[in-house]
Amino acid sequence: MTYVNQLIIIKLRYLKKRSIGGINLRISKDPEERKNELIDTAEELFSTVGYDKTSVSDIVKKVSVAQGTFYYYFKSKEDIFMAIFTRNSEKLLLEMKEKVKEKNINAVEKLMIVIKLYIESKEDSAGSKHKIVETLHNDENTSLHHKIIVEEIVTKRSMLTSIIKQGIAEGIFHTDYPEEAAEFILTELYFVFDPEVFGFSNEEIFKKSEALADMVEKLLSVPRGTFMSKIVQLKESYSKNITNL
């Protein structure tokens, strides 16, 4: 190999992607970086164009990679759709854990932090990600929606269970079923605050928020009013923001 050829090879590795003499050289990226780039692009297209109107070809074209690269990371368009929710769910979980890690916060406060962050995430879904949320409520996507709901509950169950166990240790909560209580709370949160599952009106959401607070208080055997005013206040903020979208 000549000295000139060696220089060319070094130059090509360094450039990663440049237009040289009309030839496009594809950027070589770290696999995780490339995967996230595909997810970012898919999320952008699904949010603006819509899931059904976006093809795998649209995604790879925007990223400037071959379809083979897409299928190296994802089995299908549905697979990358799930990846969007998985990443967002994990991000929310990390935020929740960060907020509740303080030892001087009691279990009631921690539970309310989790509920507040969860509701705020639903506000975001009803806004910037509205077209993605719409996709979940199409009849043909029932199976996909079910997977999302299960993931929402499973990924956060352990953290919420630990908060309930803390409340039991503090003498605030009283239940023999901390994990089941966590599952119930997460399921009801999704049921009440998902903006389009049942298409509840603001009045219906308000009533169901009160019912949720009442059931959580009974479930954890805490004095009446422990959660009622806090959850209703969050609901009022949620309804106002949803109405203004």
pLDDT digits (tens, 9 = 90+) for 84-97: 989 988 999 999 99
**Residue 66 lies in domain:** 28-74
34 has pLDDT over 80: yes
Minimum mean pLDDT among 25-39, 58-72, 129-143, 154-168: which range?
129-143
137 plus 233 within the same structural domain: yes
- CATH number for the domain harbouring residue 94: 1.10.357.10
Do the bridges between strand 23-24 and strand 19-20 make them parallel or antiparallel, or are there none, so unpaired?
antiparallel
- pLDDT at res. 167: 97
The single-letter DSSP state of residue 104 is T
Q: Is 18 among the domain residues? A: no
69 plus 83 within the same structural domain: no
**What's the rounded Cα separation, in Å, for the pair 158 and 154?**
8
54 has pLDDT over 80: yes
Chain segment 189-234, per-residue pLDDT in tens: 888 877 556 667 778 878 888 888 899 999 999 999 898 877 777 7
16 has pLDDT over 50: no
Contact 198, 189 (CB under 8 A): no
Number of domains making up the chain = 2
170 plus 50 within the same structural domain: no
**What's the rounded Cα separation, in Å, for the pair 20 and 5?**
16
- pLDDT at res. 176: 97
The rounded mean pLDDT for the chain is: 82
Q: Quick one: residue 18, left, alpha or beta (phi over 0 = left, psi -120 to 50 = alpha)?
A: beta
Helix, strand, coil proportions of the chain in percent (round to 5)?
Answer: 75, 0, 25
pLDDT-derived band at 28, boundaries 50, 70, 90: low
